[in-house]
Amino acid sequence: MTRIEWKGVGERFFEAGVDRGVLYVDDNPGVPWIGLVNVNDSTSGGKAEARYLDGIKISNRASPEEFEGTIEAFTYPVEFERCDGSAHIGNGLRIANQRRRSFGMVYRSQVGNDTVGLDFAYKIHILYNLKAEPSERGYRTLTDQNEPVTFSWKITSRAPFVNGFRPSTHYTIDSRDIPVELLQVLEDRLYGTELEEASLPSPGELIFMFDAFEDFVYDAGSPYTPVFVTYDAGTPDTPILETIDGGAL
């Protein structure tokens, strides 16, 4: 047995910062959110509800939790105006207090340690089905010490359902745990490439992307897809080492 020690060189981790914000509205390509200042997330609910029988506590079950938070920024993409409740009439005219659109977003936080600082690692945060509620905005007269206006929104969500898990809005990917190849695939999807537009995978797609990574599965498509390759399983005495998926039935 080994006694616990608290030396931990390179193991004193901390998180800081927010960058690489991306906004996704409807099925449109993702756009960069330049000017993010803060993304604060919290939860409502989750309060323990005790139940008693004959004066004895028999359960202490927590109520369901719901995502909520705030976004602060110096500016926001034009595509976010519909989420902020503004409708673009044309030629620069906008009308406020309209129906707000839901949106998804991605941002990144840095993970540092005591040896290399904030260059150690990072986390990608993915948020789904958000609704924004603008906060009060104040405009002051100009002086010799001017500060830019900070926009702020309270955000809530209707968490999407995923098989096998409770509904959730917030998904986090830690660069310390994810295979390098999978991280590249994910970032190419979220941020786009020279050939593909940035897009937000659904929660189901995201989970499948991680769960099925490095699985050797051959899918010939639907029953109406022409089959161009024939896989020979050998004689009845030949052991089958791989499973071929012929598609949907």
Query: 226 lies in a domain?
Result: no
Query: 214 lies in a domain?
Result: no
CA distances from 202 to 67, 159, 246 (A): 17, 12, 24
Number of domains in the chain: 1
Query: 67 lies in a domain?
Result: yes
Which stretches in the chain have pLDDT values below 50? 218, 226-230, 249
Query: 174 lies in a domain?
Result: yes
Residue 246's pLDDT is what? Answer: 55
Query: 8 lies in a domain?
Result: no
Instruction: Compute the Cα dihedral for 164, 166, 168, 171 and give only its sign.
Output: negative
**Which residue type does 200 have?**
L
Domain containing 64 equals 14-200
Two tokens at 68?
Answer: 């909520």
Residue 187's pLDDT is what? Answer: 96
Query: 76 lies in a domain?
Result: yes
b vs e for 82-93, b when ≥16 Cβ sit within 10 Å of the residue's Cβ?
bbbbbeeeeeee
Residue 229's pLDDT is what? Answer: 47
Q: How confident is the model over 220-249, as pLDDT tens digits?
A: 555 555 444 445 555 556 555 555 555 554
Query: 235 lies in a domain?
Result: no
Query: 139 lies in a domain?
Result: yes
pTM of the entire predicted model: 0.80
